[in-house]
Structure 1
């Protein structure tokens, strides 16, 4: 991997990780459209450490409060009713599905799941799901001709059942094209949470899974020696700075705006990929690595 490739891929990772458009799909597509080799699941997982570092800094006060309350709840039963302590447990519970499936489906994630036809399908299908969920949220917020506005749930109302459902949605993002934030935000909206609550929990829930995946791939890559370390670290740094800016923008955007621009983009991109593969411009395996 060249330094130029790592710069572009780090930029793509930072720009797309927190938007509901699938960062893994965009890394895969960037390689395919450019004629580069697929950066692979290991590169994706390691560069995600950079974007998760941005999450840790952006939400540092929330995270410090949650960790402190969670540890205190281990020895003080009264603390177990504290909302921050509950959030710590809910993040752990919500991380179970992706942890189990990530290990179980490791070979599929690094192989068949990276087929462009599957990526295009997930872009379109999950885009439509996000659009439906967004319309439901908008209808509740504004009401209608014969219907008063409905109060949507906040994170203070998050239950173990809902936390686990969020976790299942997050696990779907093991398939490129799904989008971690897109799947979890859609799940949250469909369960009746506000846009801000769905996005905030989505970002917090991703921390254990992404860091664990990145560190696992880091160890595996160190032993296997199949990663270009200089360019990969450079891409991770780029992803951190760009990702932080995107989080700050996105959290402001969702308080007043609809997700529909992302829905339209996802569907259009998915249909474009189908067309390019169908007309033979791109192979469904374009840019795949040989390893």
Structure 2
């Protein structure tokens, strides 16, 4: 890949991963509109790892608390509240892990790289996001996370493995339906993504072992560029949600979905 292609991938991923408009869908569409060769699943995961590092950086205090909860689980320190949240996040990650393993081992991931599927999912899940944001209460914070909420949002996250759904979008939708505020829904969504995206990174280790030096170099550069774009986007989104609704993202999703279904 050229540097321009890697830069475009990083910007698209860094911006769309945290806005509820489907990063995987945009990554699939990028070659369609630019004429570049499809970057493939390995580069897709590399840019997601760049996004993961941005999440850890932005939410460092929350990640530190969850880390304390993980240590308390194995008997190191006393942090009952953090330990509870740690386990709810882990349990909420299990559905995505199971579905991800099934899709990878079954060879179904490439079959999902369809513009028609992306367009339909942009519309369907965009409308659901609008309904949740319009009618969902804003009474819960991440610290009030329960096992039931973790499982429900975790099941929603598993659905996001299909491009066009949007991992952040569908988890924020579920969280808003459950009564979390917009900012807390985003915070919940991003923290829940940490083990899921980390797990996706682990899954490609066997592929990385056999990858060419050039592909590894491209993955590292694109991931690093994504980190910068993602950190800037996350900072913007968290400030935006304190003042505005998610309706602008709903309109964008539906309009883009209709355009894709019409053009392709």
Superposition TM-score, scaled by structure 1 size: 0.85
What CA deviation, in whole Å up to 9, does each residue of 1:137-183 have, x standing for no partner? Answer: 3xx46xxxxxxxxxx22223211111011111111110110001000
- Cα distance change of structure 1 residues 120 and 221 upon mapping to structure 2, 3 Å threshold: same
What CA deviation, in whole Å up to 9, does each residue of 1:39-67 have, x standing for no partner? Answer: 22221111111111011111111111221
Could you tell me which runs of 5 or more consecutive residues in structure 1 were left unpaired when the two chains were aligned: 142-151, 278-291
Larger radius of gyration: 1
Q: Which residue of 175, 196, 215 maps to 1:228?
A: 215
The answer to whether the Cα contact below 8 Å between 1:13 and 1:47 also exists between their aligned partners in 2 is: yes
1:109 positional shift? 4.6
User: 1:106-145 alignment to 2 at 5 Å?
Assistant: 106=104, 107=106, 109-137=108-136, 140=137
User: 1:38-187 alignment to 2 at 5 Å?
Assistant: 38-75=38-75, 79=79, 82-106=80-104, 107=106, 109-137=108-136, 140=137, 152-187=139-174
Please identify, of 68-77 and 253-262, the stretch whose mean Cα deviation from structure 2 is larger: 68-77
Q: Provide the secondary structure at the position in 2 that maps to 1:201.
A: helix
Superposition TM-score, scaled by structure 2 size: 0.94
Q: Provide the secondary structure at the position in 1 that maps to 2:198.
A: helix
Measure the CA separation in 1 of the matches of 2:77 and 2:227: 38
The answer to whether the Cα contact below 8 Å between 1:94 and 1:164 also exists between their aligned partners in 2 is: yes
- Cα distance change of structure 1 residues 271 and 108 upon mapping to structure 2, 3 Å threshold: farther
Residue-pair matches, total = 263
Measure the CA separation in 2 of the matches of 1:44 and 1:66: 27
Measure the CA separation in 2 of the matches of 1:226 and 1:30: 24
Could you tell me which runs of 5 or more consecutive residues in structure 2 were left unpaired when the two chains were aligned: none
1:224 positional shift? 4.5
1:256 positional shift? 1.7
1:70 positional shift? 3.0
